[in-house]
Amino acid sequence: MVEAIPTPGPKAAAEIVRGIADRGADLIIAAGGDGTINEVVNGMVGSEIPLGILPAGTANVLATEIGLGKTMEQAAESLLHSVQARVALGRLCWETEENARHFLMMAGAGLDADIVYHLNLKMKKALGKVAYWIAGFAKFGHSLPEFTVGIGGREYTASFALVSRVRNYGGDLEIAPTISLFEDEFEVVLFEGKSSMPYMKYMLGALTHKLDGMRGVTILRARQVAFLTSGVEEVHAQVDGEYAGVLPARVEIVPNALTLLVPASFHAKRQASVEDAAWTTSPTR
């Protein structure tokens, strides 16, 4: 039996999915944007039920990342030939874990989360991804709050920190260049600057795939990340493109947390790249 269940509004999908899982569903397919998928994921953490997605949102970063296709029809055809992949999730936590948010793709702190926080929802509905670009360009010439990022016993200063499980960002850029959904860690990309002006250079670096090694940019791997603030200025956080709250907070990996349906070609390509990376870094090679 196939059952179609509409979501009545934001923040409802997670509870709906928990009820579906409790009734013994064999498969859950989420039709929506990255925000809706994030809500569904938060209702499926730890479940063995496979999750398939049909892109119907603004950016559809996950669909782009795994090569599902840009339309629901293409994605539906792709799901017929998909395979199951067990993947890790990220978790954004505050001082207490009762409001923790899991994410499949990324968490951001600083500039991009501030854009999400102040985004005009009517403009987003009317213009789609263009609304994010307009909001982003409106930041140029403004000062940006900096915060501290703690990783592996070291501290870094950033005005934008991306903690990513995917290479694709916003459906247009590749910021985290080497990460795979099949790895149990994050690729962390840190951008320095109290002024927004260096972000023109950073954007060009992302467009030309030359972020790594660029002055003001730090790229590294981690399983845990701490976001700390001085408390003087409010710094925002987002997960999978949805507003999540303010810092301080921490991000951690949750291994073996979700079964995701992905195209067989994507699974084979990314699995091979993970194995090659493991071979390259092996101390016994």
pLDDT of 238 > 90? The answer is yes
Q: Among candidates 170, 181, 185, which has minimal Cα distance to 104?
A: 181
Region of residue 240 (left: phi > 0; alpha: psi -120 to 50; beta: else): left
Q: How far apart are the first and last CA of the chain?
A: 51
Instruction: Tell whether the model's pLDDT for residue 50 goes beyond 50.
Output: yes
On the question of pLDDT at 254 being above 70, the answer is: yes
pLDDT attached to residue 284: 38
Return the higher-pLDDT residue of 132 and 92: 92
**111-118 vs 129-137: helix crossing angle, rounded to 10:** 120
Give Cβ neighbours of residue 150 (< 8 Å, ≥ 6 apart): 156, 225, 226, 227, 228
Name the band, by pLDDT with cuts 50, 70 and 90, for residue 282: very low
Mean pLDDT calculated for residue range 58-79: 88
Give the pLDDT of residue 272: 67
Please compute the mean of the pLDDT values over residues 47-70 and round it to a whole number.
Answer: 90
Q: Please report the pLDDT score of residue 101 as a whole number.
A: 96
Average pLDDT over residues 65-86: 91
pLDDT band at 273 (very low <50, low <70, confident <90, very high): low
C-alpha distance from residue 91 to each of 39, 41, 65, 75, 214 (Å)? 13, 11, 20, 27, 28
- Over 90: is that where the pLDDT of 248 sits? yes
pLDDT score at 283: 47
What are the tens digits of pLDDT across the range 172-207? 789 999 999 999 999 999 999 999 999 999 999 999
Q: Mean pLDDT score of the chain, rounded to an integer?
A: 90
Residue 285, pLDDT score: 33
DSSP assignment of 261-278, as one string? EEEHHHHHHHHHHHHHHH
Confidence band, pLDDT 50/70/90 cuts, at residue 276: low
Antiparallel, parallel or unpaired: β 242-246 and 106-110: unpaired
What per-residue confidence (pLDDT) applies to 123?
84
Lowest mean pLDDT among 64-68, 165-169, 254-258, 269-273: 269-273
Please indicate whether residue 81 or residue 237 has the higher confidence score (pLDDT).
Answer: 237
Task: State pTM to two decimals.
Answer: 0.90
Residue with tokens 């603030």: 229
pLDDT in tens, 78-117: 999 899 999 999 999 998 767 899 999 999 999 999 999 9
pLDDT at 225 over 80: yes
What percentage of residues in the chain have a pLDDT greater than 90?
68
